[in-house]
Amino acid sequence: MNMATDSAKAELVLDARNGTGESPVWHAAEQALYWVDIPARKLCRWEPASGQFASWLAPEMLACVAPIAGSGGWIAGAESGVFRLTPQAGGQLGFESLAPVAHAMPGMRFNDGRCDRQGRFLAGTMLMNMAAGASAGCVYSYQKESGLTQLLDGFITPNGMAFSPDGATMYLSDSHPSVQSVWAFDYDTQTGRPSNRRRFIDMNPLPGRPDGAAVDADGCYWICGNDAGLIHRFTPQGRLDRSLAVPVKKPAMCAFGGAGLDTLFVTSIRPEGVDLSDQPLAGGVFALSPGVRGLPEPVFSRFPLSL
């Protein structure tokens, strides 16, 4: 489908003005959207039915979150490790360390991540100074029994993590301008180990760098085209199927939500020190109706009773 003729229209649902809005997650039980604003160190929540917005401040930057089964809390990749978050009254956020991370060098933090379909929490790390182009990023898995385990290394800006509907394929991108690729891995659902890495999408000839992603019920892979104001849909064979536009240059991550999981929510980035007159809604949260449904977001459920 031609990008210019796609009929899906982006609607601003919240003029959030996030510095870096990331990790949107639809919480089905609450019928609410959660996400993080990384530089602001905030966990955010918006409820479509009431329009109510709330946020909670963390002691360090949060990069990716996933709900913990049955607890009302969240697991998060932050600056110094993996934490359990507990939203409290008055904008306070319980912040309990689950596993510190031994970064390869100073100035790193977690970036994109989510749970696999078996309930393990996976997330990648990056050097915050992207201009350095350091391949110091790693991908880790966390589960209570084995703690934090390194799965992959050699990334500059690991991003775009998602899993096929059956959980047997893991997708992962590197959004750094010098890489701009998405890989697919065979994913062992029993052990939680990826293997057989192969190029899934070369984003270099396409508009936008590969940022955060989601998979729909048809197994197609949606990824934000950062810098191009687009969200691309690729078939399981890696063919570009369609592209949807948002009125900002830097969409960061997308997630399916709404009562029917048929709304595609998109968070975005409001860069500092640049003229935003052509994109005043930068940092906002948007919604599109793409005509397909998503999948329920997996929750962290690896031995939750011991948390």
Q: Which residues contact residue 219 at a Cβ distance below 8 angstroms, ignoring those fewer than 6 apart?
A: 164, 165, 236
Q: Is 148 exposed, middle or buried (0-12, 13-18, 19+ CB in 10 A)?
A: middle
- How many C-beta neighbours within 10 Å does residue 219 have? 14
The domain made up of 3-306 is a member of CATH 1.10.357.10: no
> What's the CA gap between 237 and 181, in Å, rounded?
15
Catalytic residue among 112, 116, 174, 211: 211
Tokens of 70: 């049955």
The dihedral over CA atoms of 96, 17, 229, 115, expressed in degrees to the nearest 10, equals 10
pLDDT at 304: 41
Chain centroid offset of residue 31 CA: 19
Q: What is the pLDDT along the chain (307 residues), one digit of tens a residue?
A: 334 336 579 999 999 999 999 999 999 999 999 999 999 999 999 999 999 999 999 999 999 999 999 877 999 999 999 999 999 988 889 999 999 999 999 999 999 999 999 999 999 999 999 999 999 999 999 998 889 999 999 999 999 999 999 999 999 999 999 999 999 999 999 999 999 999 999 999 999 999 999 999 999 999 999 999 999 999 999 999 999 999 999 999 999 999 999 999 999 999 999 999 999 999 999 999 999 999 999 999 865 434 4
DSSP letter assigned to residue 105:
S
CA distance 110 to 163: 19
Assess whether 15 carries a catalytic annotation.
no
pLDDT number for residue 305 = 39
Contact status, residue 72 vs residue 61, Cβ threshold 8 Å: no
What does the pLDDT read at residue 306? 40
Nearest of 88, 141, 144, 72 to residue 110 by alpha carbon = 141
Q: Which two tokens stand for residue 89?
A: 């009254």
Which long-range CB contacts under 8 A does 48-57 form with residues at least 24 apart? 48/13, 48/258, 53/14, 53/16, 54/87, 54/91, 55/91, 56/85, 56/87, 56/88, 56/91, 56/92, 56/93, 57/91, 57/92, 57/93
Q: In angstroms, rounded to a whole number, what is the distance separating the alpha carbons of residues 155 and 101?
A: 16
H helix or E strand, kind and range, residue 60: none
pLDDT (0 to 100) of residue 104:
94
